[in-house]
Structure 1
Amino acid sequence: MTTTRERSLDAAVHLVGTQGIRALTHARVDAQAGLPRGSTSNHFRTRDALRAGVTTWIAEQERGDLAAVLTRTFDDLEGFVDVFSSAIELLTGPHAVRTRARYALFLEAASDPELFAPLRAQREAMAAWSRNLLVTLGAKHPDTALHAFMAFGDGIILHRLTVDPDAPVRPSVDAALRGCLVA
């Protein structure tokens, strides 16, 4: 059974992911979640607390969804391309609204280290996992490859969220990864 807090957080993610950060108010979250007025503020007293709760919630949800990816290791290029492509398709397909909310919060949190902390931790985990795999796959310059590959990942996610939701993922991941390994 979903708790009131979880309903509030899911509704808040939906609002931010579909209408932007300005839509994040206690009253609008209550309405979106179908909760009595004031329910969200019982869990998140201020807007800052609500933003922090949403940020943490998104990180928790993504960790759960990507756990199978982040715990796998690969020693072959094709396996890595398949799993990374699947992760991008998940983030830009079934979880596109949540991913849009994460990007909106990234921008909002850029000047707020406390708000940014859960998103930064999530990104650092993905970077560590990716760097280890790049080393395993033989990247000549793993730190440079990591920065390029992470930038590519952000780029294709943003492209699919904004310009072309049906853009093919696997061929692009394959080309980017091969380029990162030789650069």
Structure 2
Amino acid sequence: MPTTKERALSAAVELLGTEGVRALSHARVDARAGLPAGSTSNWFRTRRSLLAGIVDWMAESERADFDPSGVSVARGSDGLIDGLCAMVELQSGAFAVRTRARYALFVELASDLELTAPLRRQRHEFERWTDQLVSAAGILDPVPSARALMALCDGLMLHRLTVDPGLELRPIIERTVRALARA
């Protein structure tokens, strides 16, 4: 059973991902989590500490959900295509609320390097992991290719979350991976 703190953080992410940063308040988190009034402020006294808690909790959740050490590295372009399609599908499907919350936090906190540090560290871990996947797929010069694929996937996620939820991912990702493999 989740702790009061975990319930508050989960509710805060849900608020961010469904209603945006302006909807975030201690009282609204308590209401969303079904907690007694004041519960969230017991854990997070200020809005800044609540935001810091959310950022840390999201980074931990994403590491648990996408733990690179628990995923076998697929070989070849087809494995890379399958993996990228699955990741974008999850982030824009089952984890859509959390993805929207992450984007909202990045935009809102862009100038606050201290608060966004856990999300940026998380991004760097995924960059290194993607470098390994791209290299295992046999694509030469894997670092710039991995960054291009990550940018593409970010754009596809944003597009699916805002404009076209049914966007067909495979043809776009496949075309890009095949082009990088030929380069």
Pairwise TM-score range, normalised by the shorter structure:
over 0.9
Give the distance between the partners of 2:70 and 2:21, measured in 1 at CA.
Answer: 28
The letter for the 2-side match of 1:140 is L
Residues in 2 aligned to 1:5 and 1:164: alpha-carbon distance in whole angstroms? 35
Aligned-residue identity in percent: 51
**8 Å contact from structure 1 (residues 134, 181) kept in 2:** no
Shift of residue 155 of structure 1? 0.4
Aligned length: 183
Q: Could you say if the C-alpha distance between residues 28 and 121 of structure 1 is closer, same or farther in structure 2, counting changes exceeding 3 Å?
A: same
Q: Aligned-pair distance for 1:142?
A: 2.2
Equivalent pair of 1:17/1:98 in contact (CA under 8 Å)? yes
The offset of 1:82, in angstroms, is 1.2
Give the alignment's TM-score, normalised by structure 1. 0.93
Map of 1:28-177 to 2, 5 A cutoff?
Answer: 28-67=28-67, 71-177=71-177
Helix, strand or coil at the partner of 2:53: helix
**CA distance, structure 1, for counterparts of residue 69 and residue 99 of structure 2:** 17
Structure 1 segments of 4+ aligned residues over 4 angstroms from their partners: none
Runs of 5+ consecutive residues of structure 1 not aligned to the other structure? none
Q: Identify if the C-alpha distance between structure 1 residues 68 and 138 changes in structure 2 by more than 3 Å, giving closer, same or farther.
A: closer
**Alignment deviations for residues 129-160 of structure 1 (CA, whole Å, 9 cap, x no partner):** 11122222232332321221111011001001
Structure 2 residues without counterparts, runs of 5 or longer: none
Equivalent position SS for 1:36: coil
**TM-score computed with the length of structure 2 as normaliser:** 0.93
Distance 1:68 1:40 in 2: 32
Q: Read off the aligned partner of 1:47 and give its amino acid letter.
A: R
The alignment partner of 2:36 has SS state of coil
Which residue of structure 2 aligns with residue 21 of structure 1? 21
The residue matched to 2:67 in structure 1 has which SS?
Answer: helix
Q: Deviations over 1:39-88 (max 9, x none)?
A: 00111111001001111111111112212687321222212211221111
